[in-house]
Amino acid sequence: PISMDESTMERSSEEDLAVPTCPLEQQIEEFDLANFMIEKEVIQEQDGLQAVEEGEASPNPKEKEKIPVVEEKNA
């Protein structure tokens, strides 16, 4: 959230079709964010796997939440 970007986006909302620079910047930001999220998930998985080897927790917190739901459906 940079103030300069916000004012640029307000002005270029009508020019977006003619000027692709703003959407391109957004794509790059989203791409970086996606990479960051992937890295974060990988790190969480690695931490979880280490914890499982030590017998502390499930490999993935998300899986831990999903498993009870699956069991309820099967029961």
pTM above 0.75, yes or no: no
Q: Model confidence over 8-63: pLDDT tens digits? A: 555 555 555 555 555 677 777 888 888 888 788 877 777 777 766 666 555 555 55
Report the pLDDT value the prediction gives residue 39, as an integer from 0 to 100.
82
- The answer as to whether 6 is a domain residue is no
Q: Where are the alpha helices (DSSP H) in 1-75?
A: 3-12, 21-53, 61-74
The answer to the question of residue 53 being in a domain is yes
* 5 domain residue, yes or no: no
* Residue 15 located in a structural domain: no
pLDDT at 54 (0 to 100): 63
Whether 48 contacts 57, CB under 8 Å = yes
d(CA 49, CA 61): 11
How many domains, the chain? Answer: 1
- The reply to whether 33 falls in a domain is yes
Give the confidence band of 71 by pLDDT, cuts at 50, 70, 90: low
